[in-house]
Amino acid sequence: MSNVEFGFVVFEKCFHCNRVRTYFTKEMVAILGDEYREGDHFWHRVENAQSFRFNLDCSICGDSMSFDDLMGLLYCTGCLSDCRLEILRKKLEAERTHMLMACGFLVESQLKPKQVRPDKLEELTNYFNQRRGTARSRIKIVAFDLEDGFSRCKGEFLHDVGMLSQEPITARRSPF
Amino acid sequence: MTTQELIEKAGLKPLSKFEDRVVEGVYISDMVSDVMAGAKSGDLWLTIQTHKSIVPAANLVDVSAIVITGGKEVPAETVELASKYGIAILSSGLPTFKLVGKLYALGVGAQ
């Protein structure tokens, strides 16, 4: 992993159309509740999650693969038993493989997040499996590609929220 | 030193069901993003974070165990998820600084 940059994933919601959009920022202080108008949208920040972005470098050929389009990794909470990803998670779990879902950024014009290329997800999976002992279990990173996006999914991001809280948070509210 | 040996020598309290592992090093962070970027397989992760997202993060980087310091209470759902993944969640009443001193004196992470 190289070129690691820490920052915030900002979740903004339009209180006019209810759409959510997200982006990464390296600003030092993330201000919640900042409101502004952009065309027909009235955006306000509903969440700032501390996160990071990075590249993966090949030590053999020197190629660098950027993951700037990766908003974050989600873990499945098993909220819907008939969900395609939950069914896949259970199947992989039986094979001692733990599934995480890669989520691209949300744009206001689309219901579901942008997709990260499958070859990049494969490299990311390989990277994490090479960092760990795979005799006990493995990791599989799949695309978060549910047609209805986050409208029903209660998956949770591996992000840091509530870092300014005086006590560690034990429950999170969804930004969607 | 294994997780079980560490529990006995450092006075840690196991909260979850776990697979005994060799502890290779120590990583201290309260940010899941920092752990994902920097922790190594086999590290003992010291934190005061108790949200259940620490479990998949720990599993992703394959830490040997998570130690919750400062006597923080760990929610049942975090312990349950950790047991399901076979990841040890251990509790210490000591603040992180004092526990690190104790671990260092035991030779944990010294290699």
Structural domains of chain B in order of their starting residue, each with its CATH number: 3-105 (3.40.1390.20)
CB contact under 8 A, A132 and B61: yes
If interface means Cβ-Cβ distance under 8 Å, which residues of chain B face chain A? 19, 30-34, 36-37, 40-42, 48-53, 56-57, 59-62, 72, 75, 85-86
Q: Name the minimum distance, in Å, from the CA of A3 to any CA of chain B.
A: 11
In B, which residues are within 8 Å of A142 by CB distance? none
Name the more confident of B70 and A149: B70
Give the integer Cα–Cα distance in Å for B64 and A64.
30
DSSP result, A41-79: EEEEEEEEEEEEEEEEE-TTT--EEE-TTEEEEEE----
pLDDT value of residue A112: 82
In B, which residues are within 8 Å of A170 by CB distance? 50-51, 75
Name the more confident of A114 and A169: A114
Residue from the list B19, B31, B52 with its beta carbon closest to the beta carbon of A136: B19
Are B70 and B91 a contacting pair, CB within 8 Å?
A: no
pLDDT digits (tens, 9 = 90+) for B11-20: 999 999 998 9
In B, which residues are within 8 Å of A163 by CB distance? 30-31
pLDDT value of residue B105: 94
pLDDT value of residue A81: 84
Name the more confident of A167 and A74: A74
Q: What chain B residue is nearest to A126 in terms of C-alpha separation?
A: B60
In B, which residues are within 8 Å of A137 by CB distance? 59, 86
pLDDT value of residue B29: 96
Region A154-159 average pLDDT: 86
Tell me the whole-structure pTM to 2 decimals: 0.89
Q: Is residue A172's pLDDT more than 70?
A: no
Give the full edge-to-edge strand order of the sheet including B25-28. B13-14, B88-91, B65-68, B43-47, B25-28
Please report which residue ranges of chain B form alpha helices under DSSP H: 3-10, 32-38, 54-61, 76-85, 96-105
pLDDT value of residue A23: 93
Output the average pLDDT for chain A. 86
Q: Is residue B6's pLDDT more than 80?
A: yes
Q: What chain B residue is nearest to A8 in terms of C-alpha separation?
A: B33
pLDDT value of residue B34: 93
Backbone angles phi, psi at B110, to 5 degrees: -80, -20
Region A125-152 average pLDDT: 86
pLDDT value of residue A176: 67
Name the more confident of A27 and A31: A27
Q: How confident is the model at residue B111 (pLDDT cuts 50, 70, 90)?
A: low
pLDDT value of residue A168: 62
pLDDT value of residue A151: 74
CB contact under 8 A, A133 and B61: no
pLDDT value of residue A46: 86
pLDDT digits (tens, 9 = 90+) for B49-106: 999 999 999 999 999 999 999 999 999 999 999 999 899 999 999 999 999 999 999 9
Lookup result for tokens 């201000």: A31
Q: Is residue A104's pLDDT more than 90?
A: yes
Please report the ipTM that was assigned to this predicted complex: 0.87
In B, which residues are within 8 Å of A76 by CB distance? none
If interface means Cβ-Cβ distance under 8 Å, which residues of chain A face chain B? 1, 4, 6, 50-52, 54, 73, 75, 98, 100, 128, 131-133, 136-137, 139, 156-160, 163, 168-172
Give the integer Cα–Cα distance in Å for A29 and A19.
24
